């Protein structure tokens, strides 16, 4: 098969379009013909060698994909050839205590698609039969791959962990990011008032079209002070942050008494100095998450199929142009998702 193959860590020039052996599904595994794959920030970290996990080279990255069942390994009976599926990126063991209670997103012994196993940057990938989620008929492959990780991650963060409810006020950072644009739509569906942040006025206009009530351009205004101004000094009940660094500190400052902060990423700074006095005086709680269950993924795909959540595709690329797609993502001018088509 053709794939983007990494032979070591480095810049965009390390992404080579080559022939590699097509994976062969073993017992209990399924081979998926990839029709669309997403481009994620973690791909760039993995390429650069800053992800924290070094893959076995040669490696095919890509944490998400959508495609069709192409071949069944021995013993697989729950899927048919041609069924439209998306692999879950948490390749859970299926038998540990957390998997058995339905929390396979925090499996005690899991692999990660595109990190510890070959992922979506190829024409085919193989995963265990229990790692697949069915794609509803109303979604095409590009829409499915654009919806899957951002909506599932934002749902887990805002609804499952952040316990956001109707009538509350929420801060959703990075409106242009996959999780940000998804978070705005989910918060709207939940009936919350939404304040969002972005690095340009253009992105804020797009965020308002998705349902944000207020937008803060963080290049010209302080997020914390501006949120307090917008909420009459009260602050927000919940904040979703995927940036880290000063944005995380600003988000804590923006919280109301008893506010919840949910963090799912830290590309803007991984180590943050926190004022504990503000934390305990305001009864603030901080939650980390970022890996949804398959049940949440199936739920958000269904909501997207019903038109209640809208996958945002910024641009499509042929798989061989993965380096161009990653460079565009690094430029921070993207609103929504970048899709690779093998
Ligand atoms: Zn497990």
Instruction: Give the separation between CA 318 and CA 340, rounded to whole angstroms.
Output: 6
3-state SS class at 241: strand
Q: How far is ligand 1, taken at its centre, from the CA of residue 98, in Å?
A: 6
Q: How far is ligand 1, taken at its centre, from the CA of residue 102, in Å?
A: 9
Q: How far is ligand 1, taken at its centre, from the CA of residue 276, in Å?
A: 34
Q: How far is ligand 1, taken at its centre, from the CA of residue 154, in Å?
A: 22
3-state SS class at 213: coil
Q: How far is ligand 1, taken at its centre, from the CA of residue 297, in Å?
A: 17
Instruction: Give the separation between CA 140 and CA 124, rounded to whole angstroms.
Output: 18
Q: How far is ligand 1, taken at its centre, from the CA of residue 292, in Å?
A: 14
CATH 3.40.50.720 residue ranges for the chain = 150-288
Q: How far is ligand 1, taken at its centre, from the CA of residue 228, in Å?
A: 42
Q: How far is ligand 1, taken at its centre, from the CA of residue 112, in Å?
A: 12
3-state SS class at 43: helix
Q: What is the DSSP string of 255-292?
A: EEEEEEEEE---TT-S-----HHHHHHTT-EEEE----
Instruction: Give the separation between CA 267 and CA 269, rounded to whole angstroms.
Output: 6
pLDDT attached to residue 332: 85
The domain made up of 150-288 has a fold known as Rossmann fold (3.40.50)
Instruction: Give the separation between CA 210 and CA 187, rounded to whole angstroms.
Output: 10
Compute how many other C-beta atoms are within 10 angstroms of the C-beta atom of residue 261. 22
Neighbours of ion ligand 1 (CB under 5 A): 92-93, 96, 99, 107
Bond before 270 cis per omega within 30 degrees = no
Q: State the pTM of this model.
A: 0.95
Cβ atoms of residues 341 and 142 within 8 Å: yes
Q: How far is ligand 1, taken at its centre, from the CA of residue 64, in Å?
A: 20
State residue 254 phi and psi, 5-degree precision: -80, -10
Q: How far is ligand 1, taken at its centre, from the CA of residue 110, in Å?
A: 6
Q: How far is ligand 1, taken at its centre, from the CA of residue 101, in Å?
A: 10
Cβ atoms of residues 173 and 204 within 8 Å: no
CATH 3.90.180.10 residue ranges for the chain = 2-139+311-341
Q: How far is ligand 1, taken at its centre, from the CA of residue 124, in Å?
A: 25
CATH of domain 2-139+311-341: 3.90.180.10
pLDDT attached to residue 72: 98
Instruction: Tell me which DSSP letter residue 54 carries.
Output: P
The token duo for 32 is 């998926």
pLDDT in tens, the chain (342 residues): 999 999 999 999 999 999 999 999 999 999 999 999 999 989 999 999 999 899 999 999 999 999 999 999 999 999 999 999 999 999 999 999 999 999 999 999 999 999 999 999 999 999 999 999 999 999 999 999 999 999 999 999 999 999 999 999 999 999 988 899 999 999 999 999 999 999 999 999 999 999 999 999 999 999 999 999 999 999 999 999 999 999 999 999 999 999 999 999 988 899 999 999 999 999 999 999 999 999 999 999 999 999 999 999 999 999 999 999 999 999 988 888 999 999
pLDDT attached to residue 250: 97
Q: How far is ligand 1, taken at its centre, from the CA of residue 96, in Å?
A: 4
**CA-CA distances (angstroms) from residue 323 to 4, 39, 44, 51, 185?**
9, 10, 10, 18, 29
State residue 62 phi and psi, 5-degree precision: 115, 105
């Amino acid at each position: 098969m053709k794939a983007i193959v990494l032979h070591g860590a480095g810049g965009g020039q390390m992404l080579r379009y080559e022939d590699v052996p097509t994976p062969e599904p073993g017992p209990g595994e399924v081979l998926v013909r990839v029709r669309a794959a997403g481009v994620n920030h973690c791909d760039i970290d993995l390429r650069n060698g800053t992800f924290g996990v070094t893959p076995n080279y040669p490696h095919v990255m890509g944490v998400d994909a959508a495609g069709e069942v192409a071949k069944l390994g021995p013993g697989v009976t729950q899927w048919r050839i041609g069924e439209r599926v998306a692999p879950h990126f948490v390749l859970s063991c299926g038998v540990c205590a957390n998997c058995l209670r339905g929390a396979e997103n925090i499996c005690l012994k899991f692999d990660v698609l595109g990190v510890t196993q070959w992922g979506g940057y190829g024409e085919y990938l193989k995963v265990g039969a229990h790692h697949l989620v069915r794609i509803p008929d109303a979604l095409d492959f590009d829409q499915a791959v654009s919806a899957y990780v951002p909506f599932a991650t934002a749902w887990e963060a805002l609804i499952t962990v952040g316990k956001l409810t109707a009538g509350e006020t929420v801060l959703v950072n990075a409106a242009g990011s996959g999780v940000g644009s998804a978070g705005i739509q989910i918060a709207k569906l939940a009936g919350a008032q939404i304040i969002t942040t972005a690095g340009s006025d253009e992105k804020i206009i797009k965020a308002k079209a998705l349902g944000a009530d207020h937008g803060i351009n963080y290049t010209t205004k302080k997020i914390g002070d501006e949120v307090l101004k917008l909420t009459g000094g009260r602050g927000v009940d919940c904040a979703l942050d995927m940036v880290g660094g000063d944005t995380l500190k600003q988000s804590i400052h923006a919280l109301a008494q008893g506010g919840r902060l949910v963090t799912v990423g830290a590309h803007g700074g991984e180590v943050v100095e926190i004022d504990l006095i503000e934390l305990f005086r305001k009864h603030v709680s901080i939650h980390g998450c970022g890996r949804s269950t398959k049940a949440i993924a199936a739920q958000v795909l269904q909501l997207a199929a019903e038109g209640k959540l809208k996958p945002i595709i910024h641009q499509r690329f042929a798989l061989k142009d993965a380096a161009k797609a990653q460079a565009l993502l690094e430029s921070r001018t993207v609103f929504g998702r970048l899709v690779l088509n093998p």
